[in-house]
Structure formats: structure tokens, C-alpha cells
Amino acid sequence: DISFIPFTTFARFFEWLREISDIENAQAAHVVQRIISKQSNSQDQEEILRQLQLELAGHPKQLPSPNLYALKSALKIIFPELEDFYLQYHPKLQLMAHYKGEVLAFQQLSNTTKTWIALVGDVVRRLCLLNPLSLDPCLEGEGVLLIDQIDSQLDAAHCSEILNRLHRAFPRLQIIVTGSREELLEHAAVYQCFKLEHGKISPLDLSTTQQQLEHLYTLLQRDEALTSHIDPLPLDTEPATTQIDSLYQQIQNLNEQQKNELLRMIHAGDTSEETSSL
């Protein structure tokens, strides 16, 4: 019964991922076993591999496991740096990610990445449950997706592209999000935007916002141009060591009366500077 789908935690998503991964592994094992059983000589490994390659090449990737294919495709669109995502069974069961050229355990990823993997995985899981006969439920599934404070854990680069990527991953979903950062308005011209202020909601004037951003950018460019024409003053932060040593030696050679007189003169000089500054 999928008429009511309760709030999904990451644990439920992990269980679903393990289930569809087990199905894919079972199907792959069945294909291998069927090919091996056809070979009269079990030692002919090259022929077995050739038959296996032909068998796998004859099927689109999404046919054996459309759910797993949909999950990986959606994650790849939203996070291009996430190259692969799979379960490792040995030496222990754990979730692995091929992220930015490195193979990492799921626990090693940042909290933001883990949260977004869980969020996207939950959306994909629901679309797969609601579209069991679809070969690509993410592209064909319809619905409404609500995300509050979508920009709370995203950096500037992801924040400016997240809406476009979500739309590409789930093109038939109506996506409604809230946020407070201007990076979300990077592609706002193609979306319907509203502003909530003092308990009232009104259409967001994108032209005014764009003019403000352009004015700020112009000011920054002007400041950079002015700064580039100012020659930096040379800083002599390393006085000659020999001069300091010589001065120190001269002070050491003074008698007690001369040292007291020197301290009195220094104190008198400090006092006169403070008086003049006042």
C-alpha cells in the first residue's frame, strides 16, 4: 500500500538502496551463471568473459535495475563531483562514494553532501514506488516537491545552480523552495519568485535586484582599478641587526648614573609626546 508514504529517514533510504542493490547483484549473478552453464569447458575464462560482455552490451543500463540507474543518474546531475555511489559488502556492509576522484566511505563525506544524498535519494525512492512500471521514473514521474531553506547548507557555487540541477533531474516535478540567499536568483528569470517580508508575500522585482547587483559589481571593479594604480609602500620590517647590537652594547657600557639619566630623558620624551597629542 503506497497511498500513504510516511516521513522517510535516511535509515529507510538505506534499506531501499540495499534492496535494489541486492536485486541488481542477483540479476548479474544469474546472467553469469547462465553463461557459465553453457560452456562445456569451465576453464575457458576468455570465452566466458566475451559472452558476458555481449550479454550486458545488449541491454540498456536501466533495464536490469531501473531504480538504481535512476538514483545514480539523479545524483550525478545534482552533484557532478559524485561519480559513483554503491554498497560495499566486504569486509563489512557500508555505503561507498566515488567523490572528486577519491573512494570514500559515506561517513567521510561532509554533512552537507550526506544530507543532499539522503534528500535526493528519498525523492528518487518515492518516484520509483509511485511509478513501478517506468524505466526512468525520475524523468517521467510527476508530483510536487517542497524544500524549506534550500540554501542553508550549500556553498555559493552549488546554491546558484541547485534549482537548475533539480529541474534537470526531475523535469516533471513542480518544485517549490524557500531560501534567503541571492545566489538562488542566478537563473531566476525562468522561475516564478516571491518575497516574504513582514508577514506579506509579493512578487520579487528581479529587475531591481539585478540593477543592484550590477551596481555593486561596478563599484567593486572601480575599487580594484584604483587599488591597482597605488604603489605599495616599501615596508622595512627587518632593521639591521648590526645597528641594534651596536646600540645595545653602548647602553651596556654606560655607568649607573648615565643609565638613570637615559631613562629620565626617555620618560621625558614620552610625556611631551602625550601632552602634544592631547
Do you know the residue count of the chain?
Answer: 278
Three-state DSSP state, 67: helix
Which pLDDT band holds residue 64 (cuts at 50, 70, 90)?
low
pLDDT for the residue numbered 197: 87
In the chain, the largest separation of any two C-alpha atoms, in whole Å, equals 111
Which span out of 16-25, 172-181, 259-268 was modeled with the highest average pLDDT?
A: 172-181
Q: At residue 136, what are phi and psi to the nearest 5 degrees?
A: -145, 75
Q: Which residues, at least 6 apart from 121, have a Cβ–Cβ distance to it below 8 Å?
A: 13, 16, 17, 71, 75
Domain with CATH 3.40.50.300 in the chain: 142-209
pLDDT (tens digit per residue) in 198-221: 889 988 877 766 676 677 778 778
**Top CATH class, 142-209:** alpha beta
Predicted model pTM: 0.64
Neighbours of 158 (CB within 10 A): 18
pLDDT tens digits along 108-166:
999 889 889 989 999 999 999 999 989 899 999 999 999 999 998 898 889 999 999 99
**Residue-wise pLDDT tens digits, 11-58:** 778 888 888 888 777 766 666 676 667 665 555 667 666 766 666 555
226-240: per-residue pLDDT in tens? Answer: 766 665 555 554 555
Q: For position 63, what pLDDT does the model report? A: 47
* pLDDT tens profile 179-201: 999 889 888 888 899 988 888 99
